[in-house]
Structure 1
Amino acid sequence: MSLTDETVPGPDGPGMLRKVSRWWGDWPLTQIAVIAAVIALFWLLGHNTAATMARIGITPGFDFLGRPANFEIGEAPIAFRAGDPYARAILAGLLNTLTVAALGCLLATILGVALGVAGLSGNLLLAALVRWYVEIVRNTPLLLQLFFWISLAKSFPSPRQALSVFGSFFLTNRGVFVPGLAFHGVSAPTLWLLVGLALAYMAFLWRARREGSLPARRLGIATAGLLAGVVLTFPLTGAGASWEIPALAGFNIRGGYNLTPEFTALLTGLVVKFSAAIAEIVRAGIQSVDRGQWEASRALGLHSGQIMRLVVLPQALRVITPLTTSSYLDLTKDSSLAVAIGYPDLVSIINTTANTTGQSLEALTLLIGIYLAINLSVSAAMNHYNRRVALRGIART
């Protein structure tokens, strides 16, 4: 460019001040009036709410979280009994919700991917069965399905006449009994060592990702070291673990894990419902891959399983991942229907808290904030994974 050329300034860069200046436009008084009206509306609602709470003797605030709760919780991953603070009760409900949501997303993904692939198989009978499964499940309300599953769970025989599968799994009207690990003597040093091992393993993976390569040999050595560290942690800290298989003892079944009828019905309903949605997403993602990819893979001598695993599914993930994120968010939110079948999830506990304390506004605020935090966290994690999938796809092309 010569010295005599005229330079023209470019457009204003993006920024909050620039956006605000554009929003004001040529009618600043109108915007000021709108903002003032919104502020006045919220102030009026807050003033009326505070006056109503004061009239009926309720002090606004979250001090009730430290007061003792006068109710029991049927099942919780942490110890809870009547008289513990409301905050601990809400924590128990939150852990119940996170447990069923995490397991539901995992199992629904496994079943949905299997159904999506099976629906595209050359077996006409299998494809027809998958089609019927998807259509029936997707076109019936989730609440109706939960009622069906809880009724089925309650119709199982008593423990003495339990239905046994392989002599290790028992279906009873008191829940499903499955084998599991029983831990004893676990102390704070045990937990700290396990957390340290997990952090070290994650740091290793993060460093390998930064370097851009992770040979299978190094990954195998690191994984073996992690498992060896976990195994050695228990005897070093005086803790232990044993594998327990359920067995009939008297009028009940002892040993292993007991999945209550409510938890089993809720988890089954969520997995069945959203596996059908994920199956359709997987089917659409696979069909979005050009047929030429199949033909080129066959020309290289790959069989159908290798083509699906190594060629088609990695490309289909760019279509599958964003839609699966929506299914995960819907599954997490729909777990709140647990209140209809008696499972003590977050909604159930906060509803009981609001009824017993009268702090309905604060309880609902907590509920909204917690669900918002959960869903935003899931969305952020899936968006990060989606960006990595998209970048890999761009790198290939």
Structure 2
Amino acid sequence: MSTSGFSGLFLLRDRRIREVAYQVVCIAAVVAIGWYLFQNAAANLARQDIATGFDYLSREAGFIISETPIDYQPSDSYGRALLVGLLNTLTVALLAIVLGTVVGTLVGIARLSKNPLLSRLMLAYVEALRNVPLLLYLFLWYSAIIFTLPPVKQAIALLPGVFVSNSGLVVPAIVWHSGFWTVIAAIAAGVVAAFAWRTVATRRRIATGKAVPGWPVSLTLLVLPFVIAIAVFDIRFEFDWPELGRFRLTGGAHLKPEFVALLLGLTLSASATVAEIVRSGILAIGKGQREAAQALGLSSGRTMRLVILPQALRVIVPPLTNIYVTTFKNSSLAIAIGYPDLVMVSNTIMNQTGQAMEPIALFMLVYLGLSLATSLLMNWYNARVALQGR
């Protein structure tokens, strides 16, 4: 046997090298199969004179999108239309994740209430939302908005400047004249600075055992960059308040029924599962922790916020990752009620261009990227929480 062959067999005896080698072989096999299928599909499409490739992205779209977070006209390209669809998907999914987490946490804590009426009401809330398909709820919320709420000229004022009708929700809006991205950068800098200070303060408190100013300094660091940006840079904006006229609403930001129904459905669906995750995480903490906190004189609210929930995060965070990924994927159900998300825009492009493989591949890659990014972020946070726990 040659020396190189002997060296190869010797390396394969190492378990770690074998694991890497098996993964490389599997990846190569998947890539080869995928390439073969792609070439076969491209050849079949070419025989039928069907265009392939991504050149269509630069062509004029020629269709209207009802909700556009950025400037878009029918004369813009297919690529910009896809960007609008992607931003719509991100907007509704991220809002649903934030609202679902907040509502689910409150519901999960209320499920453990000693008040039997509140506990059972929250149980009914969770069971009703978890045991009915999300698509049916989307139809329900959309129908409720369209057929139950009054017309625009009889819009209901929920709060000052907030109106709801069968045309959707109208809320106050901020109209930026200059300095929008400067303010965004200042807010991001404040969040980073406040987070960094909380980390330093926690480590110093653990190392020295002495109290370190936490929330006052964090709040100051959070607000200070925004105040400096307002004082130094040319930042101009104004609030646009909705006004109910005789026949219509003017001003403000108009959230259409499709967006409201989708956001409501995704939020409530996610909150029901988050509630059960939070409840199980709290129950995983021993009763001795609560008793020790009460012995120190902490109120029930401070005990939950300072003792129970921080320890429960080690149990709560891993399953939350799956909920967040599922919320991103469930947003694709928007096509059922006509909200112009990435899937709906891609479907319109497929109908116009006759090309199906490329748009499908693009939005599959987008959802894969969103899922992987969410998993990486949550895994990082989970490792940080676990490290603090130890």
Measured against the shorter chain, the TM-score band is 0.7 to 0.9
Could you tell me how far apart the structure 2 residues matched to 1:36 and 1:128 are?
54
Corresponding position: 1:151 with 2:140: no
Question: Partner letter of residue 78 of structure 1?
Answer: I
Q: Tell me which structure has the larger Cα radius of gyration.
A: 1
One of 301, 320, 324 as aligned partner of 1:328: 324
Evaluate the alpha carbon distance shift between residue 321 and residue 36 of structure 1 in structure 2; reply closer, same or farther with a 3 A threshold.
closer
Instruction: Quote the offset at 1:197 in angstroms.
Output: 3.1
Corresponding position: 1:98 with 2:90: yes
What is the TM-score when the length of structure 2 is the normalising length?
Answer: 0.87
**Which stretch has the larger CA shift, 42-51 or 89-98?**
42-51
Q: 2:383 is matched with which residue?
A: 387
CA contact (8 A) 1:50 1:60 kept: yes
**Which stretch has the larger CA shift, 337-346 or 364-373?**
364-373
Question: Partner letter of residue 226 of structure 1?
Answer: P
Corresponding position: 1:349 with 2:348: no
Could you tell me how far apart the structure 1 residues matched to 2:100 and 2:79 are?
31
**Which stretch has the larger CA shift, 145-154 or 357-366?**
357-366
Corresponding position: 1:371 with 2:371: no
Corresponding position: 1:138 with 2:137: no
Question: Partner letter of residue 227 of structure 1?
Answer: F
Q: Secondary structure at the match of 1:306?
A: helix
Could you tell me how far apart the structure 2 residues matched to 1:166 and 1:37 are?
59
Q: 1:280 is matched with which residue?
A: 276
One of 226, 248, 253 as aligned partner of 1:252: 248
Instruction: Quote the offset at 1:92 in angstroms.
Output: 0.2
CA contact (8 A) 2:162 2:170 kept: yes
Q: 2:71 is matched with which residue?
A: 79
Q: Secondary structure at the match of 1:171?
A: strand
Could you tell me how far apart the structure 1 residues matched to 2:267 and 2:30 are?
43
Could you tell me how far apart the structure 1 residues matched to 2:388 and 2:27 are?
45
Q: Which runs of 5+ in 1 are unaligned?
A: 1-10, 25-30
Instruction: Quote the offset at 1:172 in angstroms.
Output: 0.9
Q: 1:5 is matched with which residue?
A: none
Instruction: Quote the offset at 1:134 in angstroms.
Output: 0.6
Q: Secondary structure at the match of 1:176?
A: strand
Could you tell me how far apart the structure 2 residues matched to 1:23 and 1:223 are?
45
Seq. identity, %: 43
CA contact (8 A) 2:163 2:170 kept: yes
Q: Secondary structure at the match of 2:227?
A: helix
**Which stretch has the larger CA shift, 111-120 or 245-254?**
245-254
CA contact (8 A) 2:190 2:226 kept: no
1:32-181 matches, cutoff 5 A: 42=34, 44-155=36-147, 156-181=149-174
Could you tell me how far apart the structure 2 residues matched to 1:22 and 1:182 are?
56
Q: 2:227 is matched with which residue?
A: 228
Q: 1:265 is matched with which residue?
A: 261
Q: Residues 269-310 of structure 1, C-alpha deviation per residue, up to 9 Å, x if partnerless?
A: 011111000000000000000011111111111111111111
Question: Partner letter of residue 180 of structure 1?
Answer: A
One of 308, 312, 319 as aligned partner of 1:312: 308
Q: Secondary structure at the match of 1:77?
A: coil
Could you tell me how far apart the structure 2 residues matched to 1:332 and 1:218 are?
35
Evaluate the alpha carbon distance shift between residue 23 and residue 151 of structure 1 in structure 2; reply closer, same or farther with a 3 A threshold.
closer
Could you tell me how far apart the structure 1 residues matched to 2:334 and 2:230 are?
37
Question: Partner letter of residue 162 of structure 1?
Answer: A
Kindly report the root-mean-square deviation, in angstroms, between the aligned alpha carbons of the 2 structures. 2.8
CA contact (8 A) 2:169 2:260 kept: yes
Q: Secondary structure at the match of 2:101?
A: helix
Evaluate the alpha carbon distance shift between residue 163 and residue 74 of structure 1 in structure 2; reply closer, same or farther with a 3 A threshold.
same
Q: Secondary structure at the match of 1:241?
A: strand
Could you tell me how far apart the structure 2 residues matched to 1:284 and 1:38 are?
39
Question: Partner letter of residue 116 of structure 2?
Answer: L
Evaluate the alpha carbon distance shift between residue 66 and residue 204 of structure 1 in structure 2; reply closer, same or farther with a 3 A threshold.
same
Question: Partner letter of residue 161 of structure 1?
Answer: Q
Instruction: Quote the offset at 1:323 in angstroms.
Output: 0.8
Question: Partner letter of residue 48 of structure 2?
Answer: I
Q: Secondary structure at the match of 1:134?
A: helix
Q: Secondary structure at the match of 2:91?
A: helix
Instruction: Quote the offset at 1:43 in angstroms.
Output: 5.5
CA contact (8 A) 1:182 1:256 kept: no
Q: Which runs of 5+ in 2 are unaligned?
A: 1-11, 205-211
CA contact (8 A) 2:152 2:248 kept: yes
Instruction: Quote the offset at 1:200 in angstroms.
Output: 4.5
Could you tell me how far apart the structure 1 residues matched to 2:163 and 2:268 are?
21
